[in-house]
Chain A
Amino acid sequence: MGDFIQIENLCHAFKTPEGGEFLALDHINLTINKGEFVAIIGTNGSGKSTLARHLNALLLPTSGKCMIKGLDTIDINNLWQIRQTVGMVFQNPDNQIVAAVVEEDVAFGPENLGIEPSEICRRVETVLASVGMTEYRYHAPHLLSGGQKQRVGIAGALAMHPECLVLDEPTAMLDPVGRKEVLATVCQLNKQDQMTIVYITHFMEEAAAADWVVVVDQGKVVLTGTPDEVFSKTEQLKAMGLDVPLASDLAYRLKERGLDLPDGIVHDDELAVALCR
């Protein structure tokens, strides 16, 4: 069966108003294994959302291949199974709400699939529990906080029983509390349920929680590695218009000033340990 997500020489060209083409994805090669938590970072317009939309066949390659569980997204016969396998969560939680009550919102997807009511009921219960929103099941979604809405959005995606969740800047609209809630939920899904996660973010501290970080720049994958490896490249990332987590930034500045610190500091605790030896 091969690797879970297999992207080979993937290109995507959009038509421009002048009748030309704009190459938003330029020969992307990427393999993501089942159960991995991959963060994607890159500046605005670098192609992150375009890439994400290929993962459940919302967009199709103009050339190259995007294979999900060995299924080619370009084959229309695979569409249903691919959408079932890969769930999407977008940036603005308000645009994803469809029902007036949380549990109905979560049930919406499975209902559309024609799944039987007792099974839907079971799923709603399980997924609300796994995002920590059980006590809100009878609430009105539009009155929830941003973090809570986004967790309902995740529950809605989970109710389809996907094997992979793609989250496109799910925390961009949230306050710090909401961001922590969403990241904690995603980490738990990954660790406990071995859910494969593709997580797009501009918050480097969030990317640091992933197994792998993929850096996209002008439609190309320019860097991949563990957070330690990627965030050691402070200068390269900053030149690209990106950033590093706070602890990495401080470690970099301290090293520049002559302090002897190890490479690969990403988390606050690692900096504390290194400084308090």
Chain B
Amino acid sequence: MSIVLDHISYTYMPETPYERTAIKDITLEINQGEFIAIIGHTGSGKSTLVQHLNGLLKPTAGSITVDGVNINKKSAKAKAACRKVGMVFQYAEHQLFEETVYDDIAFGPRNQGVDEEFVQRRVQQAMEFVGLDVEGFSKRSPFTLSGGQMRRVAIAGVIALNPEYLILDEPSAGLDPKGRDEIFQQIMELFKATGIAVVLVSHNMEDVARMATRLIVMNHGEICLDGTPSVIFKNNRDQLKAAGVDVPNVTALMSKLKDKGLCVQDDVLTVEQATEAILAAVRRQC
């Protein structure tokens, strides 16, 4: 089971003075059971790429299949295939439109034609998933929520669809540190328990390093690196720099310590690893 992108390109506003080819000749297979992180500087084409995965954008060239079904052909099968792909947009607040939080999250399941009792269970589970109190928030208007609360509602709306492919375009923008950690923990649990595919677009290299099984680096609309996070962050620092992305902050901090003369291993990716590496280095010095 997989999403296959076969030589896709996309051009915004073709044949106008504003014509812009945002992604070029991308071939990629996204398999169930993979947690793929996509990184790259702003404008490198990440959002354009992921909006192809559920048929929101149609490629200017090339084709996309979801579990073998070409999603760009108009057919009932194509529609059904797209429904397996749940997407949280970069500007999640634009995804909200119902009068209450409950109705907003219930919108997707209702559209799938399931009965109202089942809808209710899905909505409750989804609200718990994103840490929204069911009692307190169900009847609120999404438009009176704080930015971080709105984002949680948008994520819940997608979780309530039980997607087989979960696409998250910078989902943590505006979330507080604990909210971010909790939602990612939930996503990790969902990923491990169900073996769905997760595609995460992120600027947070710590999150990427911690969670992803596979890392894709975009530059100027093309994929320039594709591999495991640990290998890429260790071996491809020059290419990362050229692509305008950083190594995790903790990795950069360790490099600084090394420059200042502390003999630490600087290929760590998490705070936990850094703590151990520093302790080891300090002990060696004494």
Binding site for B on A (CB under 8 A): 14, 16-18, 42-45, 49, 91-92, 94, 145-147, 169, 172-178, 202, 204-205, 238, 241-243, 246-247, 249-250, 253-254, 257, 259, 268-269, 271-273, 275-276
Give the complex CA separation of A204 and B144 in angstroms.
26
Chain B residues within an 8 Å CB radius of A175: 41-42, 203
- Interface size class on chain B is 35 or more
Nearest CB on A from B284, distance (A): 13
- Whether B176 contacts A246 by the Cβ 8 Å rule is no
- Whether B148 contacts A44 by the Cβ 8 Å rule is yes
Give the complex CA separation of A103 and B91 in angstroms.
26
Instruction: For A91, give the chain B residue with the smallest CB separation.
Output: B147
Give the complex CA separation of A23 and B260 in angstroms.
50
Chain B residues within an 8 Å CB radius of A269: 256
Within 138-194 of B, Cβ neighbours of A (below 8 Å) are at 139-141, 144-149, 152, 170, 173-179
Identify B275's interface contact among A146, A254, A272, CB under 8 A: A254
Q: A44-B146, A276-B261 are in contact. Are A243 and B177 (CB under 8 A)?
A: yes
- Whether B42 contacts A250 by the Cβ 8 Å rule is no
Chain A residues within an 8 Å CB radius of B211: none
Known A246-B253, A259-B279; 9 more pairs at CB < 8 Å: A44-B146, A45-B145, A172-B173, A174-B42, A175-B42, A175-B203, A246-B250, A275-B257, A276-B261
Nearest CB on A from B224, distance (A): 16
Nearest CB on B from A206, distance (A): 13
7 shortest interchain CB distances as A-B pairs: A44-B148, A241-B178, A243-B177, A43-B176, A172-B174, A272-B260, A253-B275
B207 beta carbon closer than 8 Å to chain A:
no
B227 beta carbon closer than 8 Å to chain A:
no
Identify A275's interface contact among B139, B141, B178, B282, CB under 8 A: B282
Give the complex CA separation of A273 and B259 in angstroms.
12
- Whether A45 contacts B149 by the Cβ 8 Å rule is yes
Binding site for A on B (CB under 8 A): 41-43, 90-91, 139-141, 144-149, 152, 170, 173-179, 203, 244-246, 249-250, 253, 256-257, 260-262, 271, 274-275, 278-279, 282
Chain A residues within an 8 Å CB radius of B250: 246, 250
- Whether A254 contacts B279 by the Cβ 8 Å rule is yes
Identify B244's interface contact among A177, A241, A247, CB under 8 A: A177
Chain A residues within an 8 Å CB radius of B146: 44-45, 49
- Whether A250 contacts B271 by the Cβ 8 Å rule is yes
- Whether B177 contacts A241 by the Cβ 8 Å rule is yes
Chain A residues within an 8 Å CB radius of B244: 177
Chain A residues within an 8 Å CB radius of B253: 246-247, 250, 268, 271
Chain B residues within an 8 Å CB radius of A173: 90-91, 170, 173-174
- Whether A253 contacts B271 by the Cβ 8 Å rule is yes
Chain B residues within an 8 Å CB radius of A49: 146-147
- Whether A272 contacts B147 by the Cβ 8 Å rule is no
Q: A271-B253, A275-B257, A276-B261 are in contact. Are A250 and B175 (CB under 8 A)?
A: no
Chain A residues within an 8 Å CB radius of B262: 272, 275-276
Q: A45-B149, A146-B42, A276-B261 are in contact. Are A241 and B179 (CB under 8 A)?
A: yes
- Whether B261 contacts A17 by the Cβ 8 Å rule is no
Of A91, A247, A250, A273, most buried by chain B (CB within 10 Å of CB) is A250
Give the complex CA separation of A159 and B260 in angstroms.
43
Nearest CB on A from B270, distance (A): 11
Chain A residues within an 8 Å CB radius of B256: 268-269, 272
Nearest CB on B from A113, distance (A): 29
Q: A250-B274, A272-B260 are in contact. Are A202 and B42 (CB under 8 A)?
A: no
- Whether A92 contacts B42 by the Cβ 8 Å rule is no
Give the complex CA separation of A18 and B140 in angstroms.
9
- Whether B176 contacts A242 by the Cβ 8 Å rule is yes
Chain B residues within an 8 Å CB radius of A45: 145-146, 148-149
- Whether A43 contacts B42 by the Cβ 8 Å rule is no
Q: A169-B147, A247-B253 are in contact. Are A176 and B246 (CB under 8 A)?
A: yes
Give the complex CA separation of A249 and B257 in angstroms.
15
User: Can you offer 17 A-B residue contacts whose CB atoms are under 8 A?
Assistant: A18-B139, A44-B174, A44-B175, A45-B146, A172-B173, A173-B173, A177-B42, A202-B175, A205-B249, A241-B177, A241-B179, A249-B271, A250-B271, A257-B275, A257-B279, A275-B260, A276-B261
